[in-house]
Amino acid sequence: DGGITQSPKYLFRKEGQNVTLSCEQNLNHDAMYWYRQDPGQGLRLIYYSQIVNDFQKGDIAEGYSVSREKKESFPLTVTSAQKNPTAFYLCASSPWTGGDQPQHFGDGTRLSIL
């Protein structure tokens, strides 16, 4: 079955610690995205990537970093500079960023501060 796999499902971070969230897709999609969701709110775009070795900032990129070394992988690092990291993080992919093809989502990682 093709899809998007996010891991871990739950993650805890200590103050001052960087953590990395994994996102893998086997849909052969060129574009991948990271979103943040706070309780009762919609999704906000953190970073997106149109192609390997290329990525752009979204609306709330401060305190986050990404890499895109392989087409199927788009890990997100939540750095210690992100002062309010507790949230639900969602990864998505689409064939490309143009056209009308919908984005497909993983089941998310819930990050909490210890």
Contact 72, 30 (CB under 8 A): no
Exactly one of 2, 14, 16, 42 binds other proteins (CB under 8 A); that residue is 42
Residue 8: is the preceding peptide bond cis (ω within 30°)? yes
| CB-based burial label for 99 (10 Å; 0-12, 13-18, 19+) | exposed
Contact 47, 32 (CB under 8 A): no
Residue 39 touching other proteins (CB under 8 A): no
Q: Distances in Å between the alpha carbon of 95 and those of 46, 49, 99? A: 19, 11, 9
Exactly one of 32, 90, 93, 111 binds other proteins (CB under 8 A); that residue is 90
Contact region with other proteins (CB under 8 A), list: 14-22, 37-45, 67-75, 79-87: 37-45
Residue 102 touching other proteins (CB under 8 A): yes
Site for other proteins in 45-84 (CB under 8 A): 45, 48, 50, 56, 58
Residues near other proteins (CB under 8 A):
4, 6, 35, 40-45, 48, 50, 56, 58, 88, 90, 92, 97-100, 102-108, 110
